[in-house]
Chain A
């Protein structure tokens, strides 16, 4: 699905990713954990194509294509979805119109006709139910006046609408209470399939109780320093990141 080789990226003068290697196969769920400042969110941003970051080396192959050559919107249309850590508000633009445009672009890219209004509404109804999103939210402006939990649920709802091949969840658990966390995880789990991969970026093991990963990676100082089965997350929780820091040192 995605193959990242020796990826190096910097923001301004500061190098953040220092030769990162990672391969995710179709259907797999990989968790990326690590202390603050290790480069987790940078990895998400670089993969999505945010301009602030400069890729200084390495390569990323996504579905057989050179991801780094694609514009952000092309990456999206190819099936890469980023659930933002801080989803932005777009006042005056209704969630429905926004999604309609996004789904339309996606279908156009895949050579499909636009969904009829009826089919689109049916899909909205079905997918919003996955994250128990109130029907009213779909008609409000994008994220405007949403609570923290509603914003994150809206991200997962959008993911469910766009049906990506690879979904990157950037600290989707941050700022969520335990109920919201459960609902978000339930939405993600419903979307798991043999064709769809997930990259779950998180600080805490807590989220991984609900979204059980196949592989856990530890990112530290811009590199993957440890990879293991799901139990690695528990070990990290118990021993803390200092353990990793010592191991690496």
Chain B
């Protein structure tokens, strides 16, 4: 019976695999200084940014693609990618009603509501398709509080000083191969600034979508929470089903000043490739937050179900005394997906605390690795860390791997690490069946129970979606 369900479900298509027929303005493939000049010009950028990009490109040229992750894939041909693609019809919108109907349809199919009238107390959304941000909602309402929430392109034009002050301060261009590449060619992304003492009254959200074939998405997100402010930020991603691999190399930088708190949640559902491992998105992302101020706090929560290959370590640099870093992750891999994900907690300030809860779920022939660094620097007195890394195997042919790195350079630190690996039991499933639940309900219940500690950290609206997504990703995957 299980085999039948397996056959039925694995034939199921990726729900977001459709493409949108929108004319796009796409530049020819390849990467060199001229291409970067074209991108910068198309975006009407100031001179300082062009120079910044060119410098990043020169750094990138001297770097090697990292090979240490526990993943295997054919290296992308960086000269075969088009680094800029924008829906052509993109006008300067006066109102969201003027949005291209095709685009609007896409957003509807993705379940993104940008109708401000209908969702007065909902979520503010910035929608990024391929290389550009196409719509941002709730701008005015947020503006009244002094909150800036817009595409990074707009921020560069309108709030250049802020961007210049913070861009690349958390993830420098020299950080790694993909961060350098992103710095050279990033085309859009979201920007957010929460002023001193303001508690952002709604969830801010960016929705990323790769549509055009043969493009990569290189978005850049910069989020600054000024003193004693608070913001909760959501990020969702999907891509059409394509046979070739698409590259997504994003950089996300967060800065939390004194007593500020940033909660950053991601539900990543990029196209994972088909059941034979063909196609899918390469998700090579650098995400890092700087707890710059005293008692600042940054919390990463991620539910990773998509992408063919994931290489991602949302991290916290705990510089301020008493600052707090958290990382909660559920990573699911099925079929031939590979994920190497985890976090880095860099303790610099005194009395800094970090918590890591990672739940890996491996099904099919997939490989799922947790890789994490806890680094207590000599300056960090009385630092504390607690890490828990659990792995759940759904099949005999999947793999779970844990690579924890712990560096303690201050003897007052307290570091705890716990890890478990278990296999989903036929016994557990049969127990549920015997109580009248069907197999899909059973798996969904068992997996959601396993991942509960992390799912509980997601904002309400997202938690339900994430639970469904987990169930869909794993339907019929026990064996």
Contact = CB atoms under 8 A, between A and B. Distances in A.
A141 B435 contact: no
Contact of B436 (A51, A84, A97, A102): A102
A212 to B, nearest CB: 26
A106 interface: yes
Contacts of B58: none
Contacts of A73: 433-434, 436-439
A77 B433 CA distance: 10
Interface string A60-78: 0000000000011101110
Given A71-B1, A101-B441, A90 B449 contact: yes
B2 interface: yes
A90 B445 contact: yes
Nearest to A168: B434
A19 to B, nearest CB: 25
Nearest to A75: B434
Interface string B444-455: 011011111100
Interface in B230-265: none
Contacts of A162: 435-436
Contacts of B378: none
B450 A101 contact: no
Contact of A72 (B430, B449, B450, B451): B430
A224 interface: no
Interface string A76-110: 11000110100110111100011001100110010
Nearest to A48: B434
Nearest to B2: A51
Nearest to A161: B435
Interface size class of A (residues with CB under 8 A): 20 to 34
Interface in B303-345: none
B405 interface: no
B412 interface: no
A158 interface: yes
Interface string A140-157: 010000000000000000
B435 A158 contact: yes
A98 B436 contact: no
Nearest to B359: A92
A109 B2 contact: no
Contacts of B433: 49, 71-73, 76
A50 interface: yes
A91 B449 contact: yes
Contacts of A109: 436
B449 A93 contact: yes
A90 B446 contact: yes
A76 B435 contact: yes
Contact of A88 (B427, B436, B439): B427
A88 B435 contact: no
B428 interface: yes
Nearest to B435: A102
A98 B432 CA distance: 8
B1 A91 contact: no
A98 B434 CA distance: 12
A51 B433 CA distance: 11
Name the residue among B425, B430, B441, B448 with the largest chain A CB count within 10 angstroms.
B430
B431 interface: yes
A177 B452 CA distance: 34
Given A82-B434, A92-B449, A92-B452, 5 more contacts: A71-B433, A72-B430, A90-B445, A102-B437, A109-B436
22 contacts: A50-B430, A71-B1, A73-B438, A76-B433, A76-B435, A76-B436, A81-B434, A82-B434, A84-B431, A84-B434, A88-B428, A90-B431, A90-B445, A93-B446, A93-B449, A98-B435, A102-B435, A102-B436, A105-B437, A105-B438, A141-B449, A162-B435
Interface of A: 48-51, 71-73, 75-77, 81-82, 84, 87-88, 90-93, 97-98, 101-102, 105-106, 109, 141, 158, 162
